[in-house]
């Protein structure tokens, strides 16, 4: 007769935990959040293509799905046919030059640059050997690319199109003194002459680049529907968003400060703000990923500090007993009587506002319940037979405590520690909401919720996504705690 293999208590606990669907789902959610937080720099650079500090001021409060080029991680679409739209003079080259500061000893600067390059590579310095930024710093000069500079100036024309000329609904006739913007510009609203452009310099540039009248309208109305929308303007301005330093540093292979049609990488790619932007035009999705790192790290590290202090304190109090136990627990009672958040705020004010001080302050005052739980478990275990047997063998008290007693208290302690993580995360969010948590430009879920709550009526996405991430994570951690409690103590699930 075949007998089923016996399971260890740990194996039985893991089996019960796997059968708890809510706990398993919670672990999947928390693991996903932790993975996204840890990979935030990689995801921001390689997938979303925006950095957490990158500010797109003209896209402040942009709704989810809005697209723009990236400033910190620029990419290009590879379409070399767009070269003619950047090569304004039609000579087949985009020429640049470095203008040194007047009075600079250019011979000495060139000699120093040459010596540096020969010492490193043994060749004349170009962008392939010495980064362009180092060249500019050494020459203390200014990079001039006349064609790209003109396109950058034209950005001012595009930036205010909707603000200045969107005065009528759809294709309705323009009525003097009546303004009914609808987010789109028809041909009748579009400026035809230079005197309709308030800035004289921009007007001259618009005439030279052919941005006015029907021809200019057709250049921007890329979908041909007879209306210029924000999406049309964003797509049309890709050539005005070229980063000349990045272009030369990465694609000027021969180092002659000139880009020809073969070296040209195409126009800057558009990347979407999948969750919209905040009041400074920063990508909310990227900041949400970085916020996950901070919130989860503070929750786990503060719980770890609480675990170390509480377990040691409660174990000593419960095992030693007597007056020491009475003194230690009366201290805990006194600390329990003080307002918890007041102590944390006081510690942050004294030690200074920083992420490290935040998790230390939260961990330093959240160990009281852990100490009580451990003390109760130790009191129940210290008179058990295995402890008396260890004493009879002559084992030291500290060894008995940490080798035999504490391991048998880990079940309830682990469950409570798991339930402490969401409590600490919620406390961090509350402190950040008050302005005492993570300081700008850093972000946590609490700071994102605090910023979004001020504008939730008009721009609900600013508070919806951080609150959703925080809520789902807190529920998941609680499900994990409940699952561990049932798995480690099967009597509680009966």
pLDDT (mean) for 30-39: 94
- Which segment of 209-223, 266-280, 339-353 scores lowest on mean pLDDT? 339-353
Element (H, E) at 68: strand 66-68
Q: CB 407: neighbour CB atoms within 10 A?
A: 10
8 Å CB contact between 234 and 193: no
Taking all residues of the chain, what is their mean pLDDT, rounded to a whole number?
82
8 Å CB contact between 344 and 364: no
> When comparing pLDDT for 137 and 437, which is higher?
437
> When comparing pLDDT for 132 and 436, which is higher?
436
Measured at the CA of 250, the angle between CA 249 and CA 254, to 5 degrees, comes to: 75
Closest CA to 230 of 276, 151, 162: 162
- The DSSP secondary-structure symbol of 124 reads -
Task: Render pLDDT for 70-123 as a digit per residue (tens, 0 to 9).
Answer: 999 999 999 999 999 899 888 999 998 887 656 555 555 555 544 544 444 434
8 Å CB contact between 269 and 327: no
- Give one word for 321, left, alpha or beta, with left for phi > 0 and alpha for psi -120 to 50: left
The pLDDT, as a whole number, for residue 128 is 45
CA dist list (Å): 228 to 207, 217, 273 = 19, 8, 21
- Tell me the pLDDT band of 7, cut-offs 50, 70 and 90: low
The torsion angles phi and psi of 259, rounded to 5 degrees, stand at -115, 120
- Tell me the pLDDT band of 351, cut-offs 50, 70 and 90: confident
Locate 313 and state its tokens.
């304190």
Burial of 6 (0-12, 13-18, 19+ CB in 10 A): exposed
Element (H, E) at 93: strand 93-95
User: What whole-number distance in Å separates Cα of residue 216 and Cα of residue 220?
Assistant: 7
**DSSP codes, 465-486:** HHHHHHHHHHHHHHHHHHHHHH
Task: Render pLDDT for 274-299 as a digit per residue (tens, 0 to 9).
Answer: 999 998 999 999 999 999 998 898 88
The structural domains of the chain, ordered by start, are: 11-20+30-34+282-493 (1.10.3720.10), 80-96+145-268 (no CATH)
User: What whole-number distance in Å separates Cα of residue 197 and Cα of residue 254?
Assistant: 41
8 Å CB contact between 268 and 75: yes
Longest distance between any two alpha carbons in the chain, whole Å:
102
Locate 27 and state its tokens.
């672990």
Task: Render pLDDT for 172-195 as a digit per residue (tens, 0 to 9).
Answer: 666 666 677 778 888 888 999 998
Extended beta strands in 222-310, E state: 227-229, 258-260, 271-273
String of b and e for 351-369 (b: at least 16 CB within 10 Å)? Answer: eeeebeebbbbbbebbbbb
């Amino acid at each position: 007769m075949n007998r089923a293999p016996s399971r260890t208590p740990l194996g039985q606990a893991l089996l019960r935990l796997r059968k708890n669907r809510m706990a398993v789902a919670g672990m999947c959610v928390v693991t996903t959040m932790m993975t996204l937080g840890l990979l935030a720099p990689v995801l921001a650079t390689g997938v979303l293509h925006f950095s957490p500090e990158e500010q797109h001021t003209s896209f402040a409060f942009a709704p989810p799905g809005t697209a723009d080029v990236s400033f910190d991680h620029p990419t290009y679409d590879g379409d070399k046919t767009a070269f003619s739209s950047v090569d304004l003079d039609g000579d087949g080259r985009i020429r640049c030059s470095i203008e040194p500061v007047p009075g600079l000893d250019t011979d000495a600067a060139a000699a120093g640059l040459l010596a540096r390059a020969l010492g490193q590579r043994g060749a004349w310095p170009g962008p392939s050997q010495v980064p362009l930024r180092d060249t500019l710093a050494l020459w203390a000069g200014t990079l001039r690319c006349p064609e790209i500079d003109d396109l950058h100036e034209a950005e001012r024309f595009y930036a205010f199109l909707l603000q200045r000329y969107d005065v009528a609904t759809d294709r309705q006739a323009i009525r003097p003194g009546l303004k009914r913007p609808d987010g789109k510009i028809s041909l009748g609203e579009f400026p035809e002459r230079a005197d309709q452009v308030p800035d004289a310099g921009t007007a001259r540039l618009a005439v030279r680049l052919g941005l006015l009248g029907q021809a200019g309208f057709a250049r921007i109305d890329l979908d041909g529907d007879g209306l210029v929308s924000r999406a049309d303007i964003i797509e049309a301005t890709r050539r005005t968003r070229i980063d000349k330093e990045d272009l030369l540093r990465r694609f000027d292979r021969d180092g002659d400060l000139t880009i020809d049609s073969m070296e040209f990488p195409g126009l800057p790619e558009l990347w979407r703000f999948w969750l919209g932007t905040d009041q400074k035009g920063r990508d909310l999705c990227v900041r949400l990923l970085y916020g996950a790192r901070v919130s989860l790290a503070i929750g786990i590290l503060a719980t770890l500090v609480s675990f170390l202090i509480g377990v040691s304190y409660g174990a000593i109090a419960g095992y030693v007993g007597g007056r020491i136990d009475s003194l230690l627990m009366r201290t805990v009672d006194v600390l329990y009587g003080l307002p918890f958040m007041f102590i944390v705020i006081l510690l942050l004010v004294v030690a200074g506002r920083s992420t490290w001080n935040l998790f230390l302050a939260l961990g330093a005052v959240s160990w009281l319940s852990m100490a009580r739980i451990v003390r109760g478990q130790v009191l129940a275990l210290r008179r058990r037979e295995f402890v008396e047997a260890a004493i009879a063998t002559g084992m030291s008290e500290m060894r008995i405590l940490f080798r035999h007693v504490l391991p048998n208290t880990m079940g309830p302690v682990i469950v409570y520690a798991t339930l402490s993580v969401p409590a600490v995360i919620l406390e961090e969010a509350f402190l950040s909401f008050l302005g005492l948590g993570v300081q700008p430009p850093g972000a946590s879920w609490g700071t994102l919720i605090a910023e979004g709550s001020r504008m939730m009526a008009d721009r609900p996405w600013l508070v919806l996504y951080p609150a959703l991430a925080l809520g789902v994570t807190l529920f998941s951690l609680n499900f994990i705690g409940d699952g561990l409690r049932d798995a480690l103590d099967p009597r509680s699930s009966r």
